[in-house]
Amino acid sequence: MTTNFLKSTPKNGGGTNAMINDNFEYALGTPESGFSIFLAERTKKVHFIRHAEGYHNVATKETGANDCLHRGDDLASEHPLYDSRLTEKGIQQSVDLKHYLAKRPSGSRSFTAFDLVVVSPLTRTCETALHVFGAPRPPGTPSFLSKGSAPPDTLEAESGVNIPPPRFLVREECRERWGKYVCDGRRTISEIASEF
C-alpha cells in the first residue's frame, strides 16, 4: 500500500495540493488493477449550505437586535416573521448558487451534481433547496428511472447525458432551535407539503 499525500512535486509547482493533478495514490493493489478507494464514483461528498437571506435576517439587521423575533403576547403563528420566508435577495442568492454549482467541476463531471438534499421543514430552507436544486426526484423513483438534464452549456448537456434530480429528505432534526424566536417556528407539515 502506497501513499503520497500532500507531496510536493515539480508537477504541482512545488505546492501541496492533495489529490489535484499530483498523482495521489492510495491503492490496495497495483495501479493497473484499477482498484482505488478514492475513485470519484466510489466516494460521497457532503456539502453544507445555509439557507439564503430571510425576512427575519433583514429585521434583526435593521433593528440591531433579536427582540423583533419575540412573539410578545400574541400567538407565535400570528407574528409576521413566523416561519420566515426568503427575501428577493435571498431568492437571488439561491439562484446565484445554482449557477455557480453548474460551472464548478466535481468528480468526473464538469459541474457539481447531487444525489440527496437533506433539509429542515422550515419554509426558508425548503425555498432555498428548490431554488438551488430544482424540483426533487419523485419519492420512490430510482435514479436510473428519473429523467433529468445537465446544466446548459456543459459537455454532459451537449451529449444528452441523463442527470437525475436529487432526492429531497425533509427532516425535523435539521431544524434550528425552537422556543424563543418566532422565525424558528414552522407551519404544519400539510401546509408545507402542499407548497413544496
Which residues does the annotation mark as catalytic?
51, 176
- Is the separation of the CB atoms in 156 and 141 below 8 Å? no
Question: Which of 122, 124, 111 lies closest to 153, judged by CA?
Answer: 111
- Is the separation of the CB atoms in 22 and 12 below 8 Å? yes
- CA terminus-to-terminus distance, the chain: 49
Cell 445554482 identifies what position?
98
Indicate the residue type of 17.
N
Between the CA of residue 120 and those of 34, 79, 102, what are the distances in Å? 39, 20, 24
Backbone angles phi, psi at 118, to 5 degrees: -100, 125
- Is the separation of the CB atoms in 7 and 22 below 8 Å? yes
Question: Which of 163, 167, 177, 83 lies closest to 118, judged by CA?
Answer: 167
